[in-house]
A and B are shown apart, each in its own frame.
Chain A
């Protein structure tokens, strides 16, 4: 029996991972205090994947994507909105909570909140190079506010350039094109999404963009953005010296982890927040979950950070279990979920399980009546990942195989 009534848990981050930690504490009947510091957004938690899919296309509204409220679960829960964890004391178990920049109310130096356990779920934010900031017609897409700002512009049928063709960039190009806008997609690599999917699905994805009338610039980097009037068209300059003009620019340049506030706390924040296999950091009562967590995956045998939906909720539950196990004097289990994500583009569902990093071989089959590519990724002869289009059963079937086959390369990639 765990006695928790006098304990305080601080949860940092108000999105999926933080929400799931709080829900999991409630499910376990945690009887202590929970202080949930939800970050700068000032909105109730919501589901991000819809932002670049249904929401941007006007098929759902912000109300439809709210995560369920947790207030009624009998937890002693204090929600702190529009506030951030600004520091973790290196010597004491306490965090400094300050109002987020721009928050309403009196300016304040913040409060130090002591904790028995801290769950770091501060995720990532969109990468925005300083030189690209400040133009009203240039947008990142990470938050609901970003999506709503972009959405407001769409009625004027802007000529749109999407910069970056990772998951968010490629999906945004498809969604904006599906809204009937003229769209150009700037691809830094050879193919869209090739960093995730490799050659074959990357080529398929490029063909889909072309078939739907998106123009692409491959192997191209944007070197400058400018506008002669603040709210006027944006001129994009590329590394080959060419220029183009757009009414709306969406940047999909990837994400950076939000853990600068942990510098000086004694924790490893070199790439997200470093933790062990059980999601414990170097401090025994500080845990990480979601996009921010960098852990050693016991199945793949190397460190990784996974920026996908299923990972954030599964890790959040696991981090609570790790803490709970410690309270009960049990050894916490390793977090061994095989990563999974999906992406919707032009009505097609791309799905991937596993982790293709370091793969040295692929096999490509054709699936379904339309002959979509289905790719299996190998490393040293063992399956490490699989991806397909409109083939959920085939993709999911590979999950168990990856779990069992990849295990045998444990050790070879230690570190």
Chain B
């Protein structure tokens, strides 16, 4: 499972970070960081899927 972000769209609003804080991190310059390895934990993976569908600017996508 790999998540990619379209940086031209992401505005750093942090919605994904609110849902899956172990995977997404927005720094104070509003740049999004995504962990390289998404932990193999069903709860975290469900959070990641929710983040993707909850991003208000549709910047996230999933490669299974």
Contacts and interface: CB of A to CB of B under 8 A. Distances in A.
Interface of A: 20, 23, 47, 49-50, 53-54, 60, 64-65, 67-68, 309-310, 313-314, 317, 340, 342, 344, 349, 351, 353, 367-368, 390-393, 395-396, 399
16 contacts: A23-B53, A47-B56, A50-B57, A53-B11, A65-B58, A68-B53, A68-B58, A313-B53, A314-B54, A344-B11, A349-B12, A349-B13, A349-B30, A367-B28, A390-B28, A392-B26
A30 B10 CA distance: 32
Contacts of A20: 53
B40 interface: no
B17 A392 contact: yes
B26 A393 contact: yes
Given A47-B58, A390-B28, A396 B14 contact: yes
A274 B13 CA distance: 30
Given A340-B15, A396-B21, 16 more contacts: A47-B58, A50-B57, A53-B11, A60-B57, A65-B57, A310-B19, A313-B54, A340-B14, A342-B13, A342-B14, A391-B28, A392-B26, A393-B27, A393-B28, A396-B18, A399-B21
5 nearest A-B pairs in the assembled complex, by CB-CB distance: A392-B26, A392-B14, A342-B13, A313-B54, A49-B56
B22 to A, nearest CB: 12
Contacts of B17: 392, 396
A68 B54 CA distance: 11
Nearest to B14: A392
Interface of B: 9, 11-15, 17-19, 21, 25-30, 50, 53-54, 56-58
Contacts of B11: 53-54, 344, 349
Nearest to B31: A392
Contact of A309 (B9, B50, B56): B56
A51 B27 CA distance: 25
B62 to A, nearest CB: 12
Contacts of B50: 313-314, 317
A351 B11 CA distance: 13
A49 B25 CA distance: 21
A344 B13 CA distance: 9
Contacts of A342: 13-15
B61 to A, nearest CB: 10
Nearest to A310: B15
| A50, A65, A340, A367: most-surrounded residue (chain B CB, <10 A) | A340
Contacts of A340: 14-15, 18
A310 B54 contact: yes
Nearest to B21: A396
A393 B18 CA distance: 10
| B17, B25, B50, B53: most-surrounded residue (chain A CB, <10 A) | B53
Nearest to B29: A390
A390 B14 CA distance: 11
A395 B14 contact: yes
Contacts of A65: 57-58
Contacts of B21: 396, 399
